[in-house]
Structure formats: C-alpha cells, structure tokens
Amino acid sequence: MTRFEDLSRFTRVCITREGGLVAAPGLMRPRTFDVVECSSDEQNALCHWLNEGERIGREASPGRGDQRYFRICLYKDRDGEASPDEELNVPEDAAPAGVKALWEEGRIEPL
Amino acid sequence: MTSRHAPVIPPHMLDALARHGAGHLKSRAQNTLSIDQQFRQPMSARAKASLIHQNYPDSAPGAPARYIFDANHQTRLPGELVLEEGGALLDDPQVVEAYEDLGATYRFFHDVMGRHSIDGEGMALLGTVHYGQEYQNAFWNGEQMVFGDGDGEVFLPFTRALDVVAHELTHGVTELTAGLEYRDQPGALNESISDVFGVMVKQYARGEDVTQADWLIGADLLAEGVNGKALRSMSAPGTAYDDPMLGKDPQPAHMDQFVNTRSDNGGVHINSGIPNHAFYLIAMELGGNSWETAGQIWYDTLTDERLASDAQFIDFAGLTMAHATQRFGQRVAEAVMNGWKQVGIGP
Ligand SMILES: [Zn+2]
C-alpha cells in the first residue's frame, strides 16, 4: 500500500514546476486535475505516475543547486487555501513521461 | 531513465570509451566504471568531488582546469567535450562564455579568498552548454555546472551572465564546505551565498566598488521586452521584475515580510532576499570593494566548521559578527551587526 494507492480520498491534484535559478512565480504554471471527473482508468494512470514519481523523487534531492522539479499536491477539500494533504517533489530531468505530461500538456498519460 | 546520481559520463559512453578510447581516456573510463559500481547509494559531495579528480586532471594552484561540454540540446550529461584548458577557443559564443566566466570565478576564489577551485584542492571545473531545448535555467548537479540557452523571448543564454555562472559554481563550494541543507532558512542561506559570491565575482571582474555596482543578479539574461532588470536585486529585493510571463519578484528584504511557504523548497530563492539585503547594507556601510571586507567575512563564515548544515539566519549572522571582530575589529563588527539589525535579524 502506497500513499497514492487510492485517489478517491482526494478531490484535487495540482502540479507546478518549481525551483531553478530563476524561480519566478510566473514559471510555475499550475495545472489542476479534478479527481471526481477522472474515469477509473484515468485515476489508475494518475496513481501509477504518482508512484513512479515518488520512487524517483525518493532517490534524489529535488531542487538542490537550482535544479527544477515538479511539485504535486493532493487536496481533500474542494477549494480554498488549505495546505495539501499529501505532496511529492519529482526532479524535472528524471521525471517519468507521465509526470511531465501532467504539467506540460495537462494530460493524464494512459497506461 | 537517467538516475540523479549517475556518474558524470553516462555509462554507455564509458563503455564505448573503455573499449575504443585513447590511452589516458581509456584508463579513466575503466576507473569510473568500477567506482560507479561501488556507489549504488546517493553519493556525498566529497565522493562526487573525488570522482571528478579521478576522471579529469586538475591543475596547479593559481590556474583552473576547465572542461566545457556541448549537450547539443539534449539533456544527457555531461555531453560532448568540446574545449579543455588551454585549448583553442571555438567559434561558439556559449562555449567561450562558459570557459571565460568559469575562469573569472576561479580567479576570484583563488586570488581573493585563497581557494584553489571548488573543493580547495584544484577540482576540475566542468560546464555543459546548450543543455535541453530553449532551456530557461542553469544549475549545479553536484558534479558540474549546466547552462541552458534560454528561449530568446524571455531569457538569453545563461552563460552570458558572469554572476550566474559564479552563482552555480558557488553552489559547489557551499556543498563542499558548510553543506547547507537546501530547504527553508538554511536553503535560503545557501541561495544567498551563491548570489553574494556571484555579485562579488562580477564586481571584482569589472573593478567596481560598492557604489559603482548595480547589485543585480542575472541582469544580462533578460531579453528585450521583458519588464524587469534582472532575476534578483540585492539593493532592493522584490523589485527585479514585474512581468506577464515571470510574474512579480517575490523576494522580501526584511524578516517582517519573511515568506512561509512549502513551495520552492521552502522559499529558498524567495527568503534569500533577506540575507542578500543584509550583505548589501553591510558592504555599503563599509564602503570600498565588497570583496575586501564584507566578502572576507562571508567567506570566513562559510568555511567555519561551526556553521551547521541546518543553520538559521540568526546563526549565520552571529558567525559573521564573530569573524568581523576577529579579522577586522570592533568598528567593522558593529557595521555588520547594524546591517543584520536593519533586516530584522539580531538581538
Ligand atoms: Zn542557486
């Protein structure tokens, strides 16, 4: 059981790209995915990419020395400014294709 | 999939080198392969430095050992070796800029601080240019410096800015000295130290005293049409840019505006504005050349074993006061204390 096994606990998944020498707020370009609107296939794919991202993020030190990374936040509440219930950092240049697609294209790469 | 702790030369290239490489390259490649097999765990900064020593000959004190690589717009590191120390300069502006900026940074650390390269032991300086596609970043990956070309619309090639090249090299120095953690306040100190040394390297190369300097980081990077003057301002944090593409510069200049966030590794590039501004105030108060007094105090602090890897702003400030007293006496120590006080740090 991983912390991303069951997405039904969450309502929203938000991904930003952060860090880097520039670290300007305009470059974060957040994308939000509404979990309820995702089909079960999409939810499974999302879980898969989050687990892959977690595996890679754990081996690295995302951000260090101005390296950019993806920050993925999972929220239980529907809106508002609450802090995320789970979060995950994945180094950009080692990120799985499915994590990159979330941010670059706003798309859940199918399995 | 590339591993974050891959050796400097990708394994498939090492394999090819070990089989076909010229004599000295061949033995180096075989050496790295066997070392890499021992390191399945994340390597320490020291272990990475010793790997560089084994694979790239270093230099005698007083001279750098530079190796410039071309990534050819891919993201594989280090890329193709295109220029070694003393080689003929290519007709490629980014290769030449990287080579010259690394040389200027080496000279600063050696001539002003008495430090022989990143680790103090002549470690080779590795820089890769033309990294990625329209890549808007420069970074230090624990072994080498990497520079993107920018997209041309917002950012120009990152090698253009000497302070940015020096910023990245200084990340290497910090990892091999204080080893400040890259999160929250220690991370903001880590970032600030890179900006402080970046700006000093630029001032030293230009022969500017504290009143002549612009105190900007990355002023040469922004393309025409961007509403901004640089990536960061040490004299007025928070005023470097306000642009539709970049957003607004989020840096505070005082502890009253300290940003509590989990973004950006806990605001490491945001709250660095506070120690950046303290350095600016102290250097201005002391006058003359930033590197002669304030810079020496900062270097003494960075290399002081008492500076913990999880140091907070107040810890760093305390050590700068101790070193100011020790090296320059009471008057300078008071100026240092006043500078920190003006950004809300101190007793
Ligand atoms: Zn940095």
Tens-digit pLDDT string for chain A (111 aa): 578 888 889 999 999 999 999 999 999 999 999 999 999 999 999 999 999 999 988 877 899 999 999 999 999 987 767 789 999 999 999 999 999 999 999 999 999
Average pLDDT of the segment spanning B288-308:
98
Q: Hey, what are B240's tokens?
A: 């470097």
What is the B194 CA–ligand 1 centroid distance (Å)?
6
Q: Cβ contact (<8 Å) for A25 and B248?
A: yes
- Mean pLDDT for B159-187 is 98
Does residue A1 sit within a domain? no
Domain total in chain A: 1
- Cα-to-centroid distance, A69 and ligand 1 (Å): 14
Gap from CA of B18 to ligand 1 centroid (Å): 35
Our separate counts of H helices and E strands in chain B read 11, 9
Q: What domain range includes position A37?
A: 12-104
Please state at what angle helix B330-342 crosses helix B294-302, rounded to 10 degrees: 80
The residue-averaged pLDDT of B247-255 equals: 98
CA atoms of B163 and A66, how far apart (whole Å)? 14
A&B contacts, CB < 8 Å: 102
One-letter amino acid for residue B336 of the chain: V
Does the pLDDT value for residue B331 go beyond 80?
Answer: yes
**pLDDT for B21 beyond 90:** no
Residue A92 maps to a domain: yes
pTM for the whole thing? 0.90
Check CB contact of B169 with chain A, cutoff 8 Å: no
Catalytically active residues of B, by annotation? 168, 269
Nearest chain A residue to B260 by CA: give it: A83
Bridge partners (DSSP) of residue B140 are B145
Asked if residue B39 has pLDDT above 90, the reply is: no
Does any domain span residue A52? yes
Using only C-alpha atoms, chain A has a radius of gyration, in whole angstroms, of: 13
Confirm if B66 and B103 have CB atoms less than 8 A apart. yes
- With respect to residue A55, please indicate whether it lies within any of the assigned structural domains: yes
Phi and psi for B260 in degrees, rounded to 5?
-85, 110
Q: What integer pLDDT is reported at residue A58 of this predicted model?
A: 82
Contacts of A72 in chain B (CB under 8 A): none
- pLDDT for the residue B42: 66
- Residue A7 within any structural domain of the chain: no
Residue B340's nearest CA partner among B287, B281, B292 is: B281
Q: Is the pLDDT of residue B28 over 50?
A: no
Report the C-alpha gap between A71 and A53 in whole angstroms.
10
Residue, of B16 and B319, whose pLDDT is higher: B319
In-domain check, residue A110:
no
The pLDDT mean for chain B works out to: 90
